Amino acid sequence: MRRLSLGLLMISLLMGISVQAQILTNPVQDYINKTTLLNNILSNKRTIDLSQKSQTKGSSINQGNSKTPSQPDSRAIPEPTKFNHTGTFILPKLWAEKSGLAGQGDAEQFFTSFVNLYQQTAQKDGFPSNDLAYAFEYFVVNSYMTYHDLHDVEYDKDPRVKRGKDMFDRLTIINEKKLLKVTLAQERTIYNQFKTTLSENPAIQKMTDREKQELTELLALIFGLDFRAYLKGVNNEDEKAIEQARQTAKMYLERLTGASIERIKITNDGVQW
């Protein structure tokens, strides 16, 4: 498994804004320039390794509630990836102000919808939304599903299904899709992977609650923009738009891992490449 630099990851994600998000180029760059959010991360040279050791360590987090005398009380151990929410969103308003879009209120609502989607998904699947580990898991898993056309969409417009030559072929494809979809158990393994690696990162340990919330919202927004473009392409049966969104997701995953998309797999052991 390849090694992953958190600093390079964030540079890649932030500088890799897709074509369909061109309206955000200036506000995102302005945000990078004016905030100290990324400085602590980007100045950190320590790489993190999503190794089997990390997976094993991470997976132990949710393996039951029983304790032996030799085990510490996990409630007494701080969780560096979690944060206390400010009670209001931070980036949607900031991006609306910087976007130059007509109707600032509408722009803020537009960006807020992506953070709402993130929070709603966390609640539905039983994850803490105020946790950087889940923010990264959400970003990775859903980008993976975008690239591989694994999102739930209307059958008649499903990009995978439409590749079928006939009814039998399409039924085979839809059954294959069900098998390829990321399971909740696999998501929990990936969450634990990020929980382990991020918690051990000194830059994460030094981040304030507000900085962690901003980074969480950033990941939700970047994915949300690409997901919106993907769904719009599917609904309009616009193959060019669908492929553009898929390529954006591919870019995110390849820059994150340093591996080609063909090598990136999600299995019961988590993210592997």
Does position 171 have pLDDT exceeding 70, yes or no? yes
pLDDT tens digits, one per residue of 41-58: 433 333 334 433 444 444
Domain assignment present for 46: no
Between CA 20 and CA 228 the distance in angstroms is: 10
Token digits of residue 69: 């005398």
Q: What is the pTM of this model?
A: 0.77
43 touches 7 (CB < 8 A): yes
Between CA 47 and CA 50 the distance in angstroms is: 10
Domain assignment present for 52: no
Structural domains in the chain (count): 1
Q: Where are the alpha helices (DSSP H) in the chain?
A: 6-15, 25-34, 39-42, 52-59, 91-99, 104-125, 132-147, 167-180, 184-199, 202-206, 209-235, 239-257
pLDDT of residue 255: 78
Confidence band of 104 (pLDDT split at 50, 70, 90):
low
Instruction: Print the domain residue range for 150.
Output: 6-40+81-272
Domain assignment present for 60: no
Does position 189 have pLDDT exceeding 50, yes or no? yes
Does position 186 have pLDDT exceeding 60, yes or no? yes
Does position 108 have pLDDT exceeding 70, yes or no? yes
Indicate the SS3 state at residue 245. Answer: helix
Between CA 56 and CA 181 the distance in angstroms is: 23
Q: Specify the higher pLDDT residue, 128 or 34.
A: 128
| Percent residues over pLDDT 70 in the chain | 69
> Once rounded to an integer, what is the mean pLDDT over residues 216-226?
91
Domain assignment present for 149: yes
> Once rounded to an integer, what is the mean pLDDT over residues 217-241?
94
Token digits of residue 99: 């976007």
pLDDT of residue 62: 36
Domain assignment present for 159: yes
Domain assignment present for 69: no
252 touches 139 (CB < 8 A): yes
Domain assignment present for 66: no
Domain assignment present for 56: no
Please return the burial class of 175, using the count of CB atoms within 10 Å of its CB with bins 0-12, 13-18 and 19+.
exposed
CB under 8 Å to 140, separation ≥6 — which residues? Answer: 190, 253, 256, 271
Between CA 81 and CA 213 the distance in angstroms is: 10
